[in-house]
């Protein structure tokens, strides 16, 4: 049975706009509690980034030590793992969203007397919270491996914020994929894309080490922009360009995939 409800009826049939923030926070809290009990989310959000950071440091630290312009490779590894871990972790939550679609949970939420936008905003908040928690863990492990903040607390705060900006832009993509009929396979495909991106960014090796034709792609891809911003927050360096590029990528992804995510979410909830 299909439930047909127009967004135009929200103000008349549902709580007022004033309830949207509180309902979004309730949804974000529900998702965070649920994810904390799901092994696939815990693995992709925490275990995978930690193991990958340790692997990079143990295996590649010495071999890349002379290629980073005198800067310890850990200053590239930590931002790379934090950003990639946030994006890869979103794949686990994408699988979770696909499970909610298949189980009919989205349909049950759709007919409850809550604001329609609360589900999407709450998921966005939860994703940002998950990315922030994962980044804190990665940075703490990085500090044990030698990461230091030459820019003080301001630099540490900047490093924490950048992955949250990245995941805010990436969440609409995850929602769009997760609510699709091919969500399970599509999420796995996106996870592979993220893993490939980990080998073609400025955190793995300096951009000049890549072939000339590939350097503009590596330099301009969203992971590289975020990595450069985080590295410069830690050791000092230009911030305006990489930070603005990161924000531009996030805003661009929201602009392109936001409407598709809303449409897909509504279709999955009504179907």
Write down the pLDDT at residue 247. Answer: 96
**For residues 157-183, average pLDDT:** 89
Query: Which pTM was predicted?
Result: 0.85
**Structure confidence by residue, pLDDT tens digits, 100-141:** 888 888 888 777 778 878 888 898 999 999 999 999 999 999
**For residues 225-245, average pLDDT:** 93
Write down the pLDDT at residue 68. Answer: 47
What's phi and psi for 214, nearest 5 deg? -90, -20
**Structure confidence by residue, pLDDT tens digits, 17-45:** 558 888 889 989 988 898 888 787 788 77
DSSP 8-state symbol, 73: T
Assign 3 to helix, strand or coil: coil
Task: List the domain boundaries for the chain.
Answer: 15-61+70-270
Measured between alpha carbons, how far is 73 from 51 in angstroms, rounded to an integer? 16
Assign 65 to helix, strand or coil: coil
Write down the pLDDT at residue 65. Answer: 56
Measured between alpha carbons, how far is 22 from 20 in angstroms, rounded to an integer? 6
Characterise 146 by phi-psi region: left (phi > 0), alpha (psi -120 to 50), beta (else): left
Measured between alpha carbons, how far is 30 from 52 in angstroms, rounded to an integer? 29
pLDDT band at 2 (very low <50, low <70, confident <90, very high): very low
Residue 67 predicted with pLDDT over 50: no
Residue 16 predicted with pLDDT over 70: no
Residues 6+ apart with CB under 8 A from 178: 93, 94, 95, 96, 97, 98, 101, 187
């Amino acid at each position: 049975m299909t439930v047909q409800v127009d967004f135009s009826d929200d103000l008349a049939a549902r709580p007022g706009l004033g309830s949207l923030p509180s309902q979004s926070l309730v949804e974000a809290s529900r998702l965070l509690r649920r994810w904390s009990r799901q092994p696939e989310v815990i693995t992709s959000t925490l275990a995978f980034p930690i193991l990958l950071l340790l692997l990079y440091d143990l295996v590649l630290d010495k071999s890349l030590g002379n290629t980073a312009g005198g800067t310890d490779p850990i200053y590239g590894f930590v931002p790379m793992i934090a950003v990639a871990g946030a994006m890869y972790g979103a794949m686990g939550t994408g699988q979770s969203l696909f499970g909610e679609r298949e189980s009919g949970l989205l349909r049950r939420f759709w007919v409850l007397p809550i604001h329609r936008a609360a589900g999407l905003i709450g998921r966005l908040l939860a994703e940002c919270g998950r990315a922030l928690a994962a980044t804190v863990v990665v940075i703490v492990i990085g500090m044990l491996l030698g990461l230091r903040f030459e820019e003080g607390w301001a630099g540490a705060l900047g490093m924490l914020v950048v992955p949250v900006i990245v995941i805010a832009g990436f969440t609409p993509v995850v929602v769009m994929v997760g609510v699709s009929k091919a969500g399970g396979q599509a999420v796995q495909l996106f996870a592979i894309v993220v893993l490939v991106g980990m080998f073609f960014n400025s955190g793995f090796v300096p951009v000049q080490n890549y072939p000339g034709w590939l350097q503009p792609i590596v330099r301009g891809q969203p992971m590289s922009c975020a990595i450069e911003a985080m590295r410069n927050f830690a050791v000092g360096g230009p911030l305006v360009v990489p930070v603005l590029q990161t924000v531009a990528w996030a805003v661009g992804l929201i602009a392109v995939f936001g409407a598709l995510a809303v449409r897909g979410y509504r279709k999955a909830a009504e179907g």
